[in-house]
Amino acid sequence: HPSVIPGRAAPPGPPLSIDNDNSTAFEIVGILDSRSIRRRIDYFVAYRNQPISERSWIRYEDLPVSVHSLLRTFHSQYPDKPRPSKLPL
């Protein structure tokens, strides 16, 4: 985004990764909650170098395999929270 001070460059943004479908994605660094909606499981996630306002609900099916260790940690701390039956523990 442009700097608010004329002549000064804006600081670089957070590191990004590119998914297989060429969309931009932020690195997930925390699983904060889970919910069940009509047999679907969603996770409330936090992203690296992003403000709290950018946290969002993500469907389990859309989470990268790289966050499965975060899911296991979350469910070991909160065993009564909704989780998919196919989640390997």
> What phi and psi, each to the nearest 5 degrees, are found at residue 65?
-60, -25
Q: Quote the strand ranges of the chain, DSSP E.
A: 17-18, 24-25, 28-37, 40-47, 56-59
Residues 32-87: tens digit of each pLDDT? 999 999 999 999 999 999 999 999 999 999 999 899 999 999 999 999 999 998 87
User: Distance from CA of residue 40 to its chain's centroid?
Assistant: 17
Q: How far apart are CA 77 and CA 56, in angstroms?
A: 20
- What domains are defined for the chain? 17-77 (2.40.50.40)
- Residue 15 backbone phi and psi in degrees, to 5: -65, 140
Q: What does the pLDDT look like over 6-29, one tens digit per residue?
A: 666 555 444 444 355 545 568 999
